[in-house]
Every structure is written in structure tokens, then in C-alpha cells.
Amino acid sequence: MKKLLAFLLSSSLILTSLAPHALAKDEKAAMTREEVVTYLLNVADDYNPGLKKEDILKGDAQGKTKDGEYVSRTEALIMLSRAFSDLPKPQGNDLRSLNTASSFSDIPVWAQDEMTKIAATGIVNGYTDGKLGAKDQVTLEQLTALVKRMVALKGTNPRDDYYEFVNKKWLNASTIDAGEMTNGAFNELDKQNQERIKDMLQEVVKDTHAKGSVEQKIADFYTNAQDLKHRNALGIKPIAPYIASLNQASTIQEVMNVGLKMEKELGFGSILSFGIMADAKKSDINALYYAGVGLILDKTSYVSNNAQAKQVYVSYLSKLYQLVGDSKEVAEKKANSLYEFEKQIAAATMDVQDQNDVNKYYNPYTIQDFDALFPSLDMANYLKQLQLGSVDKLIVMDKGQANKLSQLMTDEHVQDFKNYMQAIWLINTSSVLSEELQQASLDFQANLFGIQGQKTQDEIAIQLTQSVMSDYLGQMFAKRHFTAEAKQDVEKMVKEFIAVYKERIKALDWMSETTKAKAMLKLDKMTYKIGYPDKWDDRFKDVSIVSIKEGGTLFDNFVAIRKASWKTEVATLGQPVDKSKWQMSVYNVNAYYNALNNEIVFPAGILQAPFYDINAKHETNLGAIGMVIAHEISHAFDNLGSSYDENGNAVNWWTPEDYKKFQEKTERVISYYNGLEVIPGVYNNGSLTVSENIADLGGMAASLQVLSQTKNADYKAYFEGYATIWRTTMSKEVVAYLSSNDTHSANKIRVNRTVASFKEFYDTYGITEKDTMYVAPEQRVSIW
């Protein structure tokens, strides 16, 4: 497995702003009846005009309201229900993300009718024992969280929840296609692109093509991928001899030799991951990187002892082992053992937010030192066998994991490595061998992420084809769906944004002229790629793709492609970097900044509505693709990209004083986005998402400056364009997973928290201190 770590591309609620702001009170202190009423009167007036104290607080039989008494959770919820009066029924996204099935065993009889109504909204969370904590005193922190959930559920006020206000109609009507984890603006455009690719594939399949032509290779790979009957007849025969050899291995060296033999013959098999990319300290030359071993679950699931994830994963592993002949008892034992083994590795593996930090992933070793790191193996020979022996150094990307593996790679752990290697082989071939393997993989993902339904076999075949034939299909896609006019228009926008960024850097009051000059140089030398590559990758020109009719198999084609890819990659080792290459398919709905090239890249796939429309309103385009462009430029100056100079080398170009100020501002960004509730029980991780948050803030600052130069600018169109592209819906399981693994903040937070730092938003919508979206000026953050 030679996949390199991707360079390019998370109880109590912590809030930095509360509504209403007139309540100067410790967030965790209990609230009195008078305080709760004052709060609710302030926040609910837009939803329930004419609301009065007596509407919320009824008093006892004698009419006494006992204003000074503390409020229980039950009482607070009933007061909240009365304040908002017309309680919405959760639909669409709210139905997926809220706890609408909540019922609590400790609700007093007098409150049950009203509590049933508010519990049905899904905004109420209880304890794991099924109790609400009905008599517990409510705090300002808890009441604020409940109010934020309520105004989001209503979604009618831009001043309280802008994301919900713009997207509520779509969110309520939202569905998730069978077999998909999410839906949203990105998914909708991707689905449109998938339909275009499907049309291209069906056209190609209809005709007869010359042997060895691009069209023949695409057509035969695709039709082979569709043929489950042939794959089922083949079963696991292609890898069965290697599994048999693995079962006979009795030492670590023998285990690794089996993997190495399979790697050389099939293009995969080694559990150690090596890759080739630009040397971060000398970015014009390709260097060898060692990325360690991959974990099948995410690190957080292992180290947090996620019982649900463990159960799903162990069940999946057990199924895989049984498919290759193990009894249920043996398979379950192996599965549980492998989970515990991976858990040890996970604890030593680098955190997600550190993986792209050059100060942490750039650890050069001589080949001799790397060999010494693994005393039980002949690593120098291992690299030679992988055709990687021509270099005198490699870069270890995760020292913690490498050291842990060094400890584990002993004959005492032979069975652990055999279990792991067998599982990896089966997982890596699940899309090209038997239907049982494929189905086991699909079931695992569905159970882990709450995915409903399943893609058709044709959809699966299309995805597989485009994943391996991306350059060939990309050429067709670009010709059909991206015009020269659009390319020129986007290039013009990029130049405009770079110019604005220069103006903004010149105007910074916290950066010295010395550092500014370096930042300006980085902008001057920043390159951009729009739509499609100037030079297409043709690494498969000598690869034979053979149809089933002519004796070929999907597996054989897969192997031929893997081997050709590795051969092409190995040939670049120690050679000058080809900076014309793209790291993303033309039809991807995405964009990226590559610090090693100091470049921004925008595939044709994203340069379409709603992100970009050459006929759309200028302000709408600025809020969508304009914001995306400025966001990617900002990555050159986030906490990670700022470590590279204008040539893509990891060089410190800051003065010590300026870098200290930058770090202080970065810490403020972390705090600003940290701890915000995504859905009940799931919170945003400011440290994990800081690089993307800096880019969002920088992108909005720059795009708003461009907008300010527009006569009679329509700021509503700008902000709505921005909020629209981030609309999304997903299951609770996916939300929880992304909160600890995605370096981007949750989409709702990307919208609400980012716009709340800009005066233009307050002016456009009349945001005041009584509104939930309000953040005090001194708490707002800005770097660029």
C-alpha cells in the first residue's frame, strides 16, 4: 500500500457570545425565574410579537411568580416553549440531527403535557440513563444552547441563525441519495457531474474502438467493472496464493517478504506506505516519504474507546476473515485481536491537525538510520526491492507511529501483522473481486456512518472507472463542460483577488515592512490553474486493458493500472518536480492550495452553478466562487501554509516579532471557533479546524473588499451566495465523525461564525446586541 498521506488537502457548551447580552452573568451559574424571563423576552420578541412576562411565567395558584427562585430544567423548558409558542415540527435535516425520540423518566406529572410537546421538537438532550435531570437548576449556558437550537429549528430570522434562514427551505426538504453519506450544494453539483460522466461512458461503450486507444481502455474497464457475475466466479483466487503464503509465515521478516512479493507482482501488498512528492525543504526536487501504516478506523474512534465503532469494525473484520475460510470463532478472535493491535498504533499516530504541519511531518532520515529504526527488518533491501533504493535519505512523516511500529515489529507480534495484512488486502480488493467482499465493505460503511440504501452496481462501476481513468475522462469532461470564456473570466477574478490581497497586506498594522515584503513576494510568485491541465497525464499509454470477452478481468486491469502508476511515480524520484501536474480530477467539485508549488487550483468541476455562473449576479459569484478563490489564496498565509516561502520551500520568512503576533492571532481564531455546537452533543474543534477557519476569514475579508468597489453593491446577494454553497445535510454519525476528523469546521459554523466577524454583515441585516448572531466587536477575529 503505497498511498502517501495527503498533503493538501470536533457536556458543556462553550460560547463567546450570548443573547441577550444585557445578562452579565457567569454562564455556569444557576438562573432565577426573573433572569430566565428577561432572557426569553429579549430573544423571542421577533418570533412572538407582544410577548409579555405573564405569557411565560404563570405563577402558582395564588398568582405568585417567585421571581427570585432558581429555575429547574423542567421549568426552563416549559418557559422556553411558552416564549416561542408555535413549536415547529422537525423536518428533513432537523429530523436527522435532532433527538426527536427523546423521552425522560423523571418528568413530574404536572409538566408532562407541555414537556411532551417540546421534547417532540428534538432540541432537548438528557443524560445517558434516560433522565432529563428535571430538578437540576438551569444555567445560562444551558438555556443559551436550547435557545440556539430553537431559533435554528424555526430558521426564520437572519439575525439569530443566518445559515438556517438562507437554507431552511432546502434543509427541510432535503433527502440523502441511497448509498450517500451527505447531501448539499457540493453533492448536487457532483451528482450533475456524475451524470455527465455516465453519459460519456455510455457513449464510449456503444462504439467499437481501436485496440490501445483511450476510448477502448475506458470502455473495457467500465464494462468489466459492471460484470459482477464474472467477478463472483473469480472469487478471491487472484490473492489466494498470497494468503496461503502469509498463513505459513512464522517471522516478521517472512511476513514482510510475502507482502513485498505481492507488491512486486500485483502493485499492492506491502503494509508500509511510501510516496514521492516535492522535498519540503527543496521543493523543486522529488523526495521519498514514509507515511507508515494506515488505520482503518479514525484515530479518535480507537483512543476514545468508541464502542459503536468498535462493534461495527470488528463485525466487518470477522466477515472478511470468514470469507477467506476462517470459522466464525476464529474470525471473531482475529478481528478483536486486530482491533486491539491497531489501537496501540493509533495511540502513537499523529493527530489529524498535525499531519500537514511541516515542522512535525518533515523528519529526514538517512537510509542507514531508517534501517536501524527497524532492527527486525532489512529496510535498505526492502526499499531496493520496491525500486526505491536510489536515494540516500527519506522523510519520516510520523515519528511517533514509526517508533511504535519499531517496537511492535518483532516475532512476538507475527500474528498481529498477519491479521492486519490479510485485512488490508481484502479491503483494498473489495471493489474488484467478489460481490461478497464488495457488499461487506458497503455494509461496514453503512453501519458506521448511518448510510441508508445502496448505490446501484452501475453507479459503483462508474465511480471505480472515474477513480482510475480520471485524466482520460477529465479531457472529455473539460471539452464538453468548460468554456474558454469561463476560464478567462475566472483567471481575471483570481488576478483581482491577488491584487486585493496585496492591498490588505500593505495595510496591516501588526506586520513589519520586512515581513510584508516577503508576503508580497509570495503573492507575486503565486501561480494558478483554472479548469484543466495544460498537459494531460498519459501514464497508462502502454497499459493493456483487456475485456472479459478477450480473457481479461477487472482484477487484472486493476493490477496493470496500479503497477503503471507506481512505475511512473518511481521514475520521478530524485528528479525535478513537474509543477504542471494536478493533484485533483478535472470534474472534482473542490479546489486547493498546494504550498509546495505556491499555487491555487480550481478544477472545471467546481466552476459551475451554484459556485460559479458566468451569467449570475456579480455579488452572488463573489460570495460563492469569489469566496472560494480568496479562501485558497488565504491558505498561503494560514498556520500551515505560512511556513513556506514564495518558491514552496519550508523556510521561515517571518521576523520573530511578527510571527509571535501571528501566533497570538491564530490562538484567537482557535478560541473563536472552538466548542460551538454543531448538533446536540457534537461540538466544533477550534484546534483541528484552525487552518480552514483562517482561510475562511481571510477569504471573506478579501472578497468583501472586492465587493466594496462595486457600485450599489448588493451585500445580501453576496452573503446569501456564500451561505447557499455550504448548505448540507447528513446523519448524526457522519456529523460526529467529521467533528473529530475533518479540518474544516461544520458548514453551519463556517457560515454563521465567519460572517459574524464582519461589520458588513451587521450593517446589512441590522444585527444588534439582542440577536443571537451578535458577537461583540472586541471578540471578533481577523488576521488578513
Each residue's pLDDT tens digit, 209-236 = 999 999 999 999 999 999 999 999 999 9
Last residue of a domain, one of 428, 448, 465: 428
* Residue of 660, 653, 639, 773 lying closest to 719 (CA atoms): 773
DSSP 732: H
Residues 489 and 629 grouped into a single domain = yes
Last residue of a domain, one of 133, 156, 173: 173
> What was the pLDDT predicted at 411?
95
**Domain of 311, in residue numbers:** 239-249+278-428
Would you say residue 475 lies in a domain?
A: no
Please tell me the distance from the alpha carbon of residue 695 to that of residue 715, in angstroms, as a whole number.
Answer: 20
Would you say residue 533 lies in a domain?
A: yes
DSSP 263: H
- SS3 letters for 469-506? CHHHHHHHHHHHHCCHHHHHHHHHHHHHHHHHHHHHHH
The amino acid at 395: I
Would you say residue 454 lies in a domain?
A: no
Please tell me the distance from the alpha carbon of residue 210 to that of residue 661, in angstroms, as a whole number.
Answer: 62
Please tell me the distance from the alpha carbon of residue 15 to that of residue 673, in angstroms, as a whole number.
Answer: 9
Q: By CB neighbour count within 10 A (0-12 exposed, 13-18 middle, 19+ buried), where does 407 fall?
A: exposed
Instruction: Read off the pLDDT of residues 137-152 as tens digits, 9 standing for 90 and up.
Output: 999 999 999 999 999 9
Would you say residue 467 lies in a domain?
A: no
DSSP 170: H
CA 165 to chain centre: 24
Residues 6+ apart with CB under 8 A from 690: 353, 638, 639, 666, 669, 670, 673
Q: Decide: helix, strand or coil at residue 603.
A: strand
Please tell me the distance from the alpha carbon of residue 377 to that of residue 380, in angstroms, as a whole number.
Answer: 9
> What was the pLDDT predicted at 513?
97
- SS3 letters for 33-73? HHHHHHHHHHHHCCCCCCCCHHHHCCCCCCCCCCCCCECEH
* Residue of 750, 760, 759 lying closest to 672 (CA atoms): 750
Total Cβ atoms within 10 A of residue 199: 12
In the chain, % helix, strand, coil (3-state, to 5) comes to 55, 5, 40
> What was the pLDDT predicted at 28?
83
Please tell me the distance from the alpha carbon of residue 758 to that of residue 456, in angstroms, as a whole number.
Answer: 45
DSSP 616: S
Determine contact, residues 278/596, Cβ cutoff 8 Å.
yes
Q: Which helix (H) or strand (E) holds 273?
A: strand 273-279
> What was the pLDDT predicted at 19?
42
Determine contact, residues 297/280, Cβ cutoff 8 Å.
no
Would you say residue 357 lies in a domain?
A: yes
* Residue of 148, 139, 162 lying closest to 72 (CA atoms): 139
Q: Decide: helix, strand or coil at residue 413.
A: helix
Residues 720 and 605 grouped into a single domain = yes
Instruction: Tell me how far apart the terminal alpha carbons of the chain are, to the nearest angstrom.
Output: 40
Instruction: Read off the pLDDT of residues 272-295 as tens digits, 9 standing for 90 and up.
Output: 999 999 999 999 999 999 999 999
* Residue of 638, 687, 686, 646 lying closest to 662 (CA atoms): 638
Distances (CA, A) of 565 to 127, 558, 597, 705: 52, 11, 22, 44
Residues 284 and 420 grouped into a single domain = yes
Total Cβ atoms within 10 A of residue 373: 18
> What was the pLDDT predicted at 61?
67
Residues 705 and 626 grouped into a single domain = yes
Residues 396 and 512 grouped into a single domain = no
Q: By CB neighbour count within 10 A (0-12 exposed, 13-18 middle, 19+ buried), where does 511 fall?
A: buried
Residues 303 and 404 grouped into a single domain = yes
Residue ranges of the chain whose pLDDT lies below 70: 1-25, 61
Residues 511 and 597 grouped into a single domain = yes
**pTM for this model (two decimals):** 0.93
Residues present in the chain in total: 784
> What was the pLDDT predicted at 473?
95
Would you say residue 21 lies in a domain?
A: no
Please tell me the distance from the alpha carbon of residue 609 to that of residue 589, in angstroms, as a whole number.
Answer: 11
The amino acid at 342: E
Residues 516 and 633 grouped into a single domain = yes
Cell 462504439 sits on residue? 207
* 353: CATH: 1.10.1380.10
Alpha helices in 58-184 (DSSP H): 73-84, 92-97, 112-119, 140-154, 162-173
Determine contact, residues 689/744, Cβ cutoff 8 Å.
yes
Residues 418 and 500 grouped into a single domain = no
Total Cβ atoms within 10 A of residue 113: 10
* Residue of 450, 526, 532, 440 lying closest to 483 (CA atoms): 532
State the Cα angle at 581 between 466 and 645, rounded to 5°.
Answer: 135
Tally of CA atoms within 13 A in the half-sphere of 737 that contains its CB? 17
* 714: CATH: 3.40.390.10
Would you say residue 225 lies in a domain?
A: no
Residues 527 and 614 grouped into a single domain = yes
Query: DSSP string of 526-577?
Result: -EEEEES-SS---TTTTPPP--GGGT--HHHHHHHHHHHHHHHHHTTTTSBP
Determine contact, residues 619/710, Cβ cutoff 8 Å.
yes
Residues 770 and 635 grouped into a single domain = yes
Would you say residue 184 lies in a domain?
A: no
Please tell me the distance from the alpha carbon of residue 581 to that of residue 601, in angstroms, as a whole number.
Answer: 11
Check whether the bond before 20 is cis (ω within 30° of 0): yes
Last residue of a domain, one of 148, 173, 198: 173
Residues 357 and 421 grouped into a single domain = yes
State the Cα angle at 59 between 54 and 60, rounded to 5°.
Answer: 155
Cell 438528557 sits on residue? 126
Residues 6+ apart with CB under 8 A from 135: 72, 73, 74, 106
Cell of 143: 438555556
**In sequence order, what are the beta bridge partners of 286?**
278
Please tell me the distance from the alpha carbon of residue 462 to that of residue 470, in angstroms, as a whole number.
Answer: 11
Q: How many domains does the chain have?
A: 3
Cell of 157: 430570522
